[in-house]
Structure 1
Amino acid sequence: MARNLFGGTASDVAEDIDGRRVPGAVGTVWDGPSDGARQITDLTDADGAPIIQLQADVRGFIPAFYGPPSDAERLWVDFGVGRIALVSVTVGDRLRKHLTDTDPHQSRAYTDERLAAYLPLRGTEVQAPAGDSWLTAVVTDDPAGNVIRLRTADGAERTRLRNTGALYLDVIGKRTPLCIGAPGFGAGQTVINVSSTSATPSSEGAVFQVKGDGSVVSAGTITAANLGSARVFSGPLPPAAPRPGDVWVKYG
């Protein structure tokens, strides 16, 4: 640790019991005012050279000296009439440096280190243990109920995740708005599952499914420009109330 500077000011003098300066007086330095205080001998002069003892100059002033390498802010000197406290003369300089330093407490460095595990810097990856949620968002005062909102530089909203669970995707240009990859999925596995109950990856409550082989399963009517109104039946018996255009494939 750094040594702090003491003495060398107009108020730092060696005095006798009557308050008169004592030129050349020899004093001792302590780390406290009590009887149990420890005497400090690891001192240097203003140039950094070790000094054996603290001695006043010919005018009785205590010359500037550096305290122990313990970053002490206050020392007690005794020139024979009791211990008198000396406060480091550079405390103001260190305070000003502390106020202007970018990260004087290293709190920013600590915060950056801790947050890196939760909110990585741009271009890095988010890593979370299996089964753990890496992000939980709560909407409080957004009238639109946006949990996540991505916008372009012109302020146009592109991707929004609402607190209702709805996801809106508005792409830029002619890029594909949604692309789902399902490597290794078999024909019987569901890639997309729309359920009439709470969301689930299984077929429970499913009303619309896309399978791994590309087949589509719908519990309701599929309407498209190239589909007519025909119905398809199969089984040993014809439909109970056939309509024009119905198709019956008999088997059994």
Structure 2
Amino acid sequence: MARYDFGAGIADYVVQPSDGLWAIAPGATLTFWSAADGGTQYTDLLDAADAPVTQVTADEQGFVPAFRGPDGVAGMWADAGGASRAWMSARNAGDAGGTVSGSVRDWLNVRDYGAQGDNVSDDTAAIQAALAACPMGGIVYLPAGAYRTSAPLTIPPAVTLMGTHSNLMAVVGLTDPPCYIKPLPAFAGTAVIEFLDQINGGYSTTSAEHRVLNVMIDGADLPGPGVDGIRAAGNIQNVALRDVTIRRVTGAGVHTEANEGAFPYSWRLTRVMVDNCGWHGVALEVMTDITLVDCQTIGNGANGFEIANAANSHAIGCRAEWNTGHGFHLTGNWATGTGSGGMLLGDCSTDRNGQHGVLVDATGNPPIQIENLHTRRDGRNLGAGGGGYAGLACTAATVPVLVGNVTCYPGVDDDGTGANSPQYGTRFAGCTYVSVASGFLHAATAGWSDGGGNAVLRRGPNIGERTGTTAAPVDAFAEAWAAAGNFTVGGYFATASGQSDGQWNIWSPTATALNLGGAGGGIAIAEGANARMGVATLAAGTVTVANTSVTADTRVLPFRQAVGGTPGHLSVTKVAGTSFTITSSSTTDTSTVAWVLIEPA
């Protein structure tokens, strides 16, 4: 076989990081290897004079001199003694080296780097070689195939990994051509795909602008727990995942976390499906400015979406179904400073999650806004129902929770088994402020449940409730609503009828503070034992009325109801807490008298 030519190209320079920038490395010694990490060293090299050499030294400008590689080897990993190796292609190996007519290619096919996609071969090194060779802004392309890997794939900043399409949930008889990354049983690592920050990746700039498009990860053969589909730790910004499916990995589908106090920031997830993974579907830790659009988590071993502080973020049109834990869990400390912020959960839905459909137990001061939430059959609780679970629950949340519209509809498993759930449509306990404007809440035990300990719990007037099964619901459409504070109306407040079991206060200083309009309108006061109005009959000009509601300040107003005997003038004496006596100036007065008790304000 022929030897290929290396070096002496316009791009063949050795560079190294210096003061945060990449600089030329004169006099650097290069060795060459079969893999990006580990592998076998190539020592059968020839210099420009065809003399045998085992390594190559860059000149005083960092330029790599011409040399010839081992027999039949068209590309090698160059090691200059740094933390990582760089892929170096032969100048005369045609397309395999990633150049066309001397120009750098920005669309690299993993097949050109040796990937087989045959569902058997280990394609890790080949795919990683393509990713390492790809310039910033370029695309590494996965043609249709099943690409097996044995270690994490690391996508560099501003590089896109793109497949032909992503299959969604596995369907019996599905005939779509395979296009996925599938770890081998011998896989070793914490994630199938990793994004590294500037610290761990050794990059000269902030790690940002990674892309994964039209790619599926199938973790069905992973050997042990804790392997995520996509994982990122540290300051990794502006990542986009679009039309990505992650199924059956043993950890989380998507997992972001801290590294040395820094967190990933400002990601965009669009049409991401996480199916039957071992832990949370999507686990985000302090992910500021994230946008989730049309993402679905189904059948995962913990929560569908585990979101711990996502200041200034949105989840729009997302679904959480059949997860073992909660569908959506908004948790953690969302802080109180000017840099803190809340989240909008809009037009999202849940179905048959094991615990709450949505649980908010976050602390801090920024508001959580929930609009148009549709919950269904949550609180499955391993088929037993009950457990205090609800479609929407807020427990010990100090963040204000504002709910525009929420629905809950109960049910059982798709095959008709299991208990009717959830137990409650909504349930609130120990929260600082919760306001629910409207909704329709149908649940097994109660549509609305106040668990107590809430500082302010506002229930709007447009909330209907039902209990029981969907086939035989029991309506509770006339439940009370609560403003939980002052209710101020700028104009007229008109109602056909009204009731109150609390004290009313009218603070107007005008003489007509209370007006009863309309001919025939008046005041009705209940009579009876210890009431504030009643009648009595004088005997020999006097009568004592037992009434424990009389105070020392009570004003007793006596009236003659019907004349009897010789009428006289009426006067009153009181015994506070016991009685009052009405006396006529005529000892032969036997009139029936009426009385009203009034207290001074």
**TM-score surpassing 0.5?**
no
TM-score normalised per structure 1: 0.34
Higher fraction of strand: 2
Tell me which of the two structures has the higher relative contact order, counting C-alpha pairs closer than 8 angstroms and 6 or more residues apart: 1
TM-score normalised per structure 2: 0.15
Higher Rg of the two aligned structures: 1
